[in-house]
Amino acid sequence: MTTDRIVLSSLLAELTLRQLPCGGWAALASSSQPTLEPTCFAALALGSFPGGALVRAQTFLLRTQNPDGSWPAIAGDDSDGAWVTSLVLLALHDVVSAIPATLQGVHWLMSCAGRNRIGFGNGSSELPIDTFVSTPTSSAGRGFLTRSAG
């Protein structure tokens, strides 16, 4: 076995080990609360290696969809949907049984066109597009949102 395959095998084993019983992944190793962002990234990573962990992740994602077609950032939270809906659609893009759910998700995203949804929440975070600006925080090019003067 080559070094690359050993490393890949070790990473996949660690990823599978960190999967929560519900099928999702937590944002922190010390947490037991599943969140959709790490679950989507794990499902995308496992996509080339189908198996039980991938199926459990896909099932978890389908189970957490909101009635309006969106997905919450945290399972059981934010019934008005969140930005993570687009990431879930990527994670489920090749799951035939998920087509009805993904179509609902696409419809929800299209209904949000033109609205600026910053962060999470029940819509109280919706702000005019010019209220926040991205400002650099390091030479790495990462930024954060700050309130603009205007």
Query: 76 or 98: which carries more pLDDT confidence?
Result: 98
Query: 146 or 97: which carries more pLDDT confidence?
Result: 97
Digit-coded pLDDT (tens) for 7-22:
888 988 999 999 999 9
pLDDT at 41: 95
Phi, psi for residue 107 in degrees, rounded to 5: -60, -45
Looking at the predicted structure, is the pLDDT value of residue 84 above 60? yes
Query: 1 or 118: which carries more pLDDT confidence?
Result: 1
The Cα 122–Cα 82 span in angstroms is 9
Q: Which are the contacts of 11, defined by CB distance < 8 A and separation ≥ 6?
A: none
Digit-coded pLDDT (tens) for 48-80:
888 899 999 999 999 999 999 999 999 888 777
Give the pair of three-digit tokens for residue 102: 């993904």
- For 87, the 3-state DSSP assignment is helix
The Cα 66–Cα 82 span in angstroms is 10
